[in-house]
Amino acid sequence: MMDEAKKMTREKKNGFKQQYIKETVFILSVLVLPIAWWAFGFFFVTGESIWLAFQAYNIDEERFVFVGLDNFVTVWKSISTGGELGICLKNSFMLWCISTFVTLPISLLISFALYKNVIGTNFYKVILFLPQVVSSMVWVLVFKYLVEYGVPEIFPNLYGDLSETGVALDFLQNPKTNLATLMFYQQWITLAGGMIIYTGAMSRVPVGLVEAGHLDGMTNMEEFVHITLPLIFPTLSVTLTTCVISIFSATLPTYQFYEGTSSTPLHMWTMGYYMFAKVMNGTSVDYPMVSTVSLVVTMIAAPITLFTRNMLEKYGPETEY
């Protein structure tokens, strides 16, 4: 009797082991190729640049030399004294706040309305998708012309009040308003950006659950808060996580609006834009600074992001359906 029990346990153990090996082989067969491919390319193309963070160009020797943590000190000084990077950091944070606390909720409500099939849904689906299809060049051009020629036609004195000389200086060039204008533009154009993903997630919410709720007298907003949000939470948590990630990579479309980095007012730079502009306009001598900023950003953002992810997974609503 005892022997049989032992045998069964052993068999069970063997079975688990076998299954474990089988699973491992399966997992490896799927993951190895993409990961190896990525690692190969990553180290070949950018491997060197991590090391650059600890180097600076020496003109006498005409090569990069090791400078220890000098670059990090420079970055810290720039942030702490309110230099370029300080301004960039502030703008990046502001952008994150707006996209997380303003745009995301509106975007979710738009998707919910489409999911609820409000009047004209089919029409809206096409129209709201346009910002993604139509080249950003067109939107930027349109927006610029409407701001500079369209708005003064409707409100002839609007810009006059903003300018001491009375000559039109529009929202895009006035240093008091241009940051806000571009932030508005970016939110306006990305408002329905998550539409495809969210409606996709919402469509999988069990119909029975919703119908039952409505029979109990649940309103649409109650459905949104109590059923939809919890059930699409895994998708939503991805957006929230990527939002945190993008604190440091997000940029305003300044490059397109002001046609080049040199015309972009400095107070509109973000961390992402700093790195972009340095690579676009700088020499290879600037690479160490970009690498340093990139490392600093990674060191700050990685723990925050992983923490956010873990919190969302831990405290977010459990859903499986």
Partner 1 sequence: MMKKISGIEKKERRSVFGIVATVLLGIYAASLIFPLLWAIYSSFLGRLDFKSDPIFGAPAIQGFQPSNFVQAFKELHVTVRTSSGGVRLAYFFEMVLNSVIWSVGSSVVAELSRCMCAYVVAKFRHHSWTRLVHSLVIILMIISFPSNLASSINFNKMVGMYDNMWLRIVGSISFTGAHFLFFYAAFRNLSWEYAEAAYMDGASNYTVMFRIMMPLVKTTFFALVLLDFITAWNDYSTSMVFMPSYPTVAYGLYKMQSLGGKFGSSVPLRLASCTVVILPTLIIFIIFKDKLMGNLALGGLKG
Partner 2 sequence: MKKKIGSILLAGLFVGCAFPFGACGGGGDGEEVDPNRTQLYVNVRDCGIGREFVYALKAGYEAKNPEVQVIPTFDDTLDDEGLQSLKTNDDVDVIFAPNYILNDFVSVNNQTSEYFADITDIVTGGGENSIMAKMYETEKNYHNVGSATAPKFFSLPWYVSYHGTVYDVDLFEEENFYNIDGYAGLDCIADTEDDFWGPDGKEGTYDDGLPATWEDMKLLMGEMESADVIPFTWTSYAGYSDSWLSSVVASYEGASNFSLLGGFDGTYVYSENTEWMTGGTKNQETGNMELAVTSANGNMMGYQNGKLAALEVAEYIIENKLFSGKAIGTTQNHYEAQTEYLTSVELCKEDPNVKRIAFLMEGNWWELEAKETFNDMKTFYHEKYAYGTRRFGYFPWPKFIGSADIPDQVNTKTTLLGGNVDNRVNVCAVNKISPNLEIAKDFVKYAYSDEGNASFTINSGVLRPFDYELTPEQQNGLTHYQKSVYTLSREEATEKVSGYTRTGLMYTAADYISGVCTFAARTEKNELHTNPFNTFNTSTNISSAESYMDCIKRYVEQKTNFWK
Partner from partner 1, partner 2, none binding residue 312, C-beta < 5-8 Å depending on class: none
- Binds partner 2 (CB under 8 A): choice among 208, 262, 314, 320: 262
The angle, 0 to 180 degrees and rounded to 10, between the axes of the packed helices 178-190 and 84-98 is 40
Largest CA distance in the chain: 101
Q: Smallest distance from the beta carbon of 23 to partner 1, in angstroms?
A: 6
Q: Is there binding between residue 72 and partner 2 (CB under 8 A)?
A: no
Dist CA 72 CA 62 (whole Å): 22
Dist CA 178 CA 301 (whole Å): 28
- 95 half-sphere exposure, CB direction, 13 A CA radius: 30
Q: Is there binding between residue 282 and partner 2 (CB under 8 A)?
A: yes
Partner from partner 2, partner 1, none binding residue 201, C-beta < 5-8 Å depending on class: partner 1
Residue 54 CB partners (closer than 8 Å, separation 6+): 66, 67, 68, 69, 71, 288
Partner from partner 1, partner 2, none binding residue 305, C-beta < 5-8 Å depending on class: partner 1
Enumerate residues 155-214 that contact partner 2 by CB under 8 A.
162-170, 172-176
Question: Per-residue string for binding with partner 1, 156-185, x by CB under 8 A?
Answer: ------------------------------
Closer residue to partner 1, CB minimum distance, 7 or 35: 35
Q: Is there binding between residue 255 and partner 2 (CB under 8 A)?
A: no
Closer residue to partner 1, CB minimum distance, 119 or 167: 119
Partner from partner 2, partner 1, none binding residue 9, C-beta < 5-8 Å depending on class: none
- Read off the tokens for 29: 């067969």
- List the helix and strand counts (H, then E) for the chain: 18, 2
Q: Answer yes or no: are the C-beta atoms of 114 and 195 closer than 8 Å.
A: yes
Q: Is there binding between residue 132 and partner 1 (CB under 8 A)?
A: yes
Q: Is there binding between residue 266 and partner 2 (CB under 8 A)?
A: yes
Question: Per-residue string for binding with partner 1, 299-318, x by CB under 8 A?
Answer: --xx--xx--x---------
- Read off the tokens for 12: 């069970």
Phi/psi at 284 (nearest 5 deg)? -65, -15
CB burial of residue 195 (10 Å; 0-12, 13-18, 19+): buried
Would you put residue 201 in left (φ > 0), alpha (ψ -120 to 50) or beta? alpha
Q: Smallest distance from the beta carbon of 214 to partner 2, in angstroms?
A: 30
Closer residue to partner 1, CB minimum distance, 81 or 136: 136
| Alpha carbon 67 to its chain's center | 33
Q: Residues in the site for partner 2, rule: CB under 8 A?
A: 57, 59-62, 74, 77-78, 81-83, 87, 141, 144-145, 148-149, 162-170, 172-176, 257-260, 262-263, 265-267, 282-286
